[in-house]
Chains A and B, each alone.
Chain A
Amino acid sequence: DAGVIQSPRHEVTEMGQEVTLRCKPISGHDYLFWYRQTMMRGLELLIYFNNNVPIDDSGMPEDRFSAKMPNASFSTLKIQPSEPRDSAVYFCASKGPWGGGTEAFFGQGTRLTVV
């Protein structure tokens, strides 16, 4: 398996623009997580899905952030409009079902810079 695949790896955008981050989880994994990593706040969970359904989005900072998982093999995290304080590394991770493995596997992350 290729692991969790995120795209793009790097994104530079201007303030006010819409940004869409993409994630392909490991096949067979039914949990998908979006994390954000910054120097100030470390790794924060934004939202996670189970069987394509959002379970907990309490970590989503504002209404500017939205996430979808239209099917088991694809998820997006959208920021509209983007702001400089959104600059961070965004990680997607997936995990197998209960009893099917303990650890979450992370993608390589998307480094977002909003100027």
Chain B
Amino acid sequence: AQKITQTQPGMFVQEKEAVTLDCTYDTSDQSYGLFWYKQPSSGEMIFLIYQGSYDEQNATEGRYSLNFQKARKSANLVISASQLGDSAMYFCAMRVTGSARQLTFGSGTQLTVLP
């Protein structure tokens, strides 16, 4: 079974600063994918970034980067130059490659960007 742990229920960051949202995972599978989704107050789930377990380089998408440390089983999301619009709930998720195609989600981190 897979498990995702997000230990920070809430985080605050000053506008324009960088922030790291923690995510650790547990799986016995060797092939898997790690995802981050953003859920603003309007409720929709927005895909941010993906990291494959065999990817040698950390994924980046604009201001988002994923700090992937395979040995430590961590996949932290780094948001650079925070903006007020980044205030949202952030979910880390994992999918094991193979027959099971569903995502397993962490409990989320509520990020608040302060002006």
Quick check: is B71 within 8 A (CB to CB) of the other chain? no
Q: Is the CB of A108 within 8 A of B43?
A: yes
Between A and B, 26 residue pairs with Cβ closer than 8 Å are: A31-B101, A33-B102, A33-B103, A42-B105, A42-B106, A42-B108, A43-B91, A43-B105, A45-B103, A48-B101, A48-B102, A56-B100, A89-B43, A91-B45, A93-B45, A102-B33, A103-B47, A103-B50, A106-B37, A106-B45, A106-B46, A108-B43, A108-B44, A109-B43, A109-B45, A111-B43
Q: How many residues of B contact A (CB 8 A)?
A: 21
Least Cβ distance of B1 to chain A in Å? 12
B46: chain A residues at CB < 8 Å are 106
Contact residues of B with A, CB < 8 Å? 33, 35, 37, 42-47, 50, 52, 91, 100-108
Question: Given the interface contacts A33-B102, A48-B102, A95-B101, does A106 sit within 8 Å of B107 by beta carbon?
Answer: no
Least Cβ distance of B46 to chain A in Å? 8
Q: Is the CB of A56 within 8 A of B107?
A: no
The range of chain A's interface size is 20 to 34
Q: Top 4 nearest A-B pairs by Cβ distance?
A: A106-B45, A43-B105, A103-B47, A108-B44
A48: chain B residues at CB < 8 Å are 101-102
